[in-house]
Structure 1
Amino acid sequence: MGKHKEHKPYECSECLKCFSKKRNLVSHARVHTGHKPYQCNECLKCFSIKGSLVKHMRQHTGNKPYQCSECLKCFSEKSNLVKHMRQHTGNKPYQCSECLKCFSEKSNLVKHMRQHTGNKPYQCSECLKCFSEKSNLVKHIRVHTGDKPYQCSECLKCFSGKSSLVRHMRVHAGDKPYQCSECLKCFNHTSSLVTHMRLHTGDKPYRCSECLKCFNKKCNLVTHMRVHTGDKSYQCSECLKCFNQKCNLVTHMRVHTGDKPYQCSECLKCFNQKSSLVTHMIVHTGDKPYQCSECLKCFNQKNNLVRHTQVHSRDKTC
């Protein structure tokens, strides 16, 4: 109560805020003037208040005088210790007035409130796209700059986001934490599991606006749309033949390179397409998966079945 009744004769000419001590007014005035007289002799960063410089210097000296009594973790600032203690106590003093959700830090509440207000104060100077959080803007800027600061220690591949690197590292570790509840197949990305589950549910959420055909993957719809648009953006550098899918171009290039990556485990014969190897394996297994619907005769290759059906067609015309 003494603070409320305290005489404050020193008034800021800019914002009219009052202070009881002249030195506090002097420190406050730097907010308006931008004057920062206290400089760190290590990194030359400047501060408007001496106390801020003292706190900053602990980063260089490693001094952390504030210790958690629960886990003994140390902090350079008392405010950080106060925030940390909420992890042990479970205290969440900041509550959203809209949905009543609680937060342990005020900054998290401020970010959360933007979901209700729709406020997006961080704008990209390149494309003017807006974001509710500064961290999302920082990530987005890398789309324009091409910056990829996160590098895989195994294959040296770089990524623009830390989360993308974490997902990629599962390829090397063989970690597949997401399991299908139906067939127990595991995946290293949650998005891959979501896509896989559509095989069991039959869900096909991506529909072609031209022919209304549906697909369970967005990439399959994008590829399909080229049938309607006639887009063939993948061109062979050797013969200039064009394809609407990259995989078809890759397969075609083997005609020029002579590459045959698919080898038969029985006779070691090689093929440039996986489908050709599958067809060839029938020779060794004796499997005849193609059956005539007229006489039920079976064949090991589809083209043999097609030739055979012509016999029935001639018989009907006669």
Structure 2
Amino acid sequence: MHIKTHKGEKPFKCSQCDKGFPNNSTLIRHLRTHSGEKPHRCSYCDKGYSQKNNLTSHLSTHTGEKPFKCSRCDKGFPNNSAFIRHLRTHTGEKPHRCSYCDKGFSQKNDLTIHLRTHTGEKPYKCPQCDERFGYRYQLTQHLRTHSGEKPHRCPYCDKGFFEKSKLTSHLRTHTGEKPFKCSHCDKGFSHRSNLRTHSRTHSGEKPFQCPYCNKGFFEKNKLTRHLRTHTGEKPFKCSQCDKGFSQKHDLTIHLRTHTGEKPLEFIQCDKGFPLKSSPIIHLRTHGGEKPHRCSSCEKGFCQTNELISHLRTQTGEIPFKCSQCDKGFSRKSNLRTHSRTHSGEKPYKCSYCEKVFSCKSNLTTHSRTHTGEKPFHCPYCDKGFSQKNHLISHLRTHTGEKPFKCSQCDKGFSYRSNLRRHTRTHSGEKPSLQ
């Protein structure tokens, strides 16, 4: 039997994972990793072990006996094998070598675990669903998905987690800790995955590609949402009318048509905000506060991005270029809207009639044909309009303003259509009758 250890012969095969062993006793010990059998029991606490030498080591926790002393640090050990393993922390010896990559390990158990990265062996099977795992701790964590056990609890809000790493991540929502720093701009993130996504804004990498139109995305969830514009999938269903939506955000807004909820309300104007618009920015419209001022013309703005856009009207800067026609834009949002004239993408869908739009503002205007909303009011007669340009045209009936001038006789008109009709009196053109 001993000769087989030299020959490398392993005639005793495990019926569950096909692993081979040189003798029957080693096979029997291995089978216990599958069956969970622990025949060696502690006489003090009744704890069970699959191997006798593990029980021997455990007994010393009760007796306190540590007869094997290290001559370098005077640390004591309950058995010789533990003592030998400890000595390697001083000598750096790694006698257990991987036959695949020649990596060395000080303990045989560490080599056994490492080998699974090469062989793909998964010896730990879940008794409830038959899923297999390469490591015991993975099985332990998985079993909690069946039992519902969440042993790792947050000391701030008492929320429970299956894994310690998930608790560690959650704690940052309370502490505000952001240990993952961007090497380009020094911005901090609470999760490594968020840093990875952010880094792509510097590198321009878009690893998630749409198989329909080849459009690239920084994040997988952005691709998932985009795919629905092609497939028409609407996984978010309204519980009140069974209407479907492609995005959860759209369902949230739609639900408010049933509840009438406007989460952010203001006393000054009773205006409600169904979306997460900034209440601070809105309050500035009441106070007239415009803290962001242009250094050239002293014009003030409520938001920083409005000032930045305004400055470009003075400098002529158009940093956002279209990759298809080289047209330039001062705002990124304008480039995004323009790009849809090339792609034909219309991501904004009406929740009432399914009509689609390339611009969000066009959807907003269209939605008013369903809701009857007329947010633009005339200060002279209080008449309401669904579009701002309709109000501007109406105001001329009060002010008498005639901004559209005839180039031939200098006559003025309140509406462009009236100027067009007048121009024909000079050209002699007669409009075609349909």
Q: Is residue 167–residue 189 contact of structure 1 (8 Å, CA) maintained in 2?
A: yes
Residues in 2 aligned to 1:36 and 1:183: alpha-carbon distance in whole angstroms: 55
Q: TM-score, normalised by structure 1?
A: 0.67
Matched, 1:216 2:218: yes
Structure label with greater radius of gyration: 2
Q: How does 1:1-318 map to 2 (within 5 A)?
A: 39-45=41-47, 53-64=55-66, 66=68, 75-125=77-127, 128-254=130-256, 256=259, 258-261=261-264, 271-275=273-277, 277=279, 280=282, 283=285, 284=288, 285=290, 286-287=300-301, 289=306, 307=389, 318=420
Residues in 1 aligned to 2:38 and 2:180: alpha-carbon distance in whole angstroms: 52
Aligned to 1:9: none
Identity of counterpart residues, as a percentage?
41
Cα deviation for residue 152 of structure 1 reads 1.8
Q: For the structure 1 residues 87 and 244, does the alpha-carbon distance in structure 2 shift closer, same or farther, using more than 3 Å as the test?
A: farther
Secondary structure, counterpart of 2:301 in structure 1: coil
Q: Which runs of 5+ in 2 are unaligned?
A: 3-11, 13-24, 291-299, 317-360, 366-375, 377-386, 394-402, 405-414, 421-434
Aligned to 1:25: none
Residues in 1 aligned to 2:272 and 2:254: alpha-carbon distance in whole angstroms: 16
Q: For the structure 1 residues 65 and 257, does the alpha-carbon distance in structure 2 shift closer, same or farther, using more than 3 Å as the test?
A: farther
Q: Is residue 262–residue 274 contact of structure 1 (8 Å, CA) maintained in 2?
A: no
Which deviations, in whole Å up to 9, do the C-alpha atoms of 1:75-109 show, x marking residues without a partner? 44443343234334333222223222111211111
Residues in 1 aligned to 2:270 and 2:66: alpha-carbon distance in whole angstroms: 67
Higher relative contact order (CA 8 A, sep 6+): 1
Q: Is residue 262–residue 272 contact of structure 2 (8 Å, CA) maintained in 1?
A: no
Residues in 1 aligned to 2:231 and 2:130: alpha-carbon distance in whole angstroms: 31
Q: Is residue 262–residue 273 contact of structure 1 (8 Å, CA) maintained in 2?
A: no
For 1:307, give the aligned amino acid.
N
Which deviations, in whole Å up to 9, do the C-alpha atoms of 1:49-76 show, x marking residues without a partner? 9876553322345555556566666544
Report the aligned-residue RMSD.
Answer: 4.5
For 1:133, give the aligned amino acid.
Y
For 1:189, give the aligned amino acid.
H
For 2:301, give the aligned amino acid.
D
Q: Is residue 180–residue 195 contact of structure 2 (8 Å, CA) maintained in 1?
A: yes
Aligned to 1:12: none
Q: Is residue 161–residue 167 contact of structure 2 (8 Å, CA) maintained in 1?
A: yes
Aligned to 1:299: none
For 2:211, give the aligned amino acid.
S
Secondary structure, counterpart of 1:57 in structure 2: helix
Q: Which runs of 5+ in 1 are unaligned?
A: 5-14, 16-27, 297-301
Q: For the structure 1 residues 70 and 173, does the alpha-carbon distance in structure 2 shift closer, same or farther, using more than 3 Å as the test?
A: farther
Q: For the structure 1 residues 82 and 306, does the alpha-carbon distance in structure 2 shift closer, same or farther, using more than 3 Å as the test?
A: farther
Secondary structure, counterpart of 1:274 in structure 2: coil
Say which is worse superposed, 186-195 or 96-105, in terms of deviation: 96-105
Count of aligned pairs between the two proteins: 282
Cα deviation for residue 150 of structure 1 reads 2.1
Which deviations, in whole Å up to 9, do the C-alpha atoms of 1:120-169 show, x marking residues without a partner? 33344555444332332333344444443322222222222222222222
Aligned to 1:18: none
Residues in 1 aligned to 2:112 and 2:74: alpha-carbon distance in whole angstroms: 30
Residues in 2 aligned to 1:120 and 1:50: alpha-carbon distance in whole angstroms: 24
Q: TM-score, normalised by structure 2?
A: 0.52
Q: Is residue 264–residue 279 contact of structure 2 (8 Å, CA) maintained in 1?
A: no
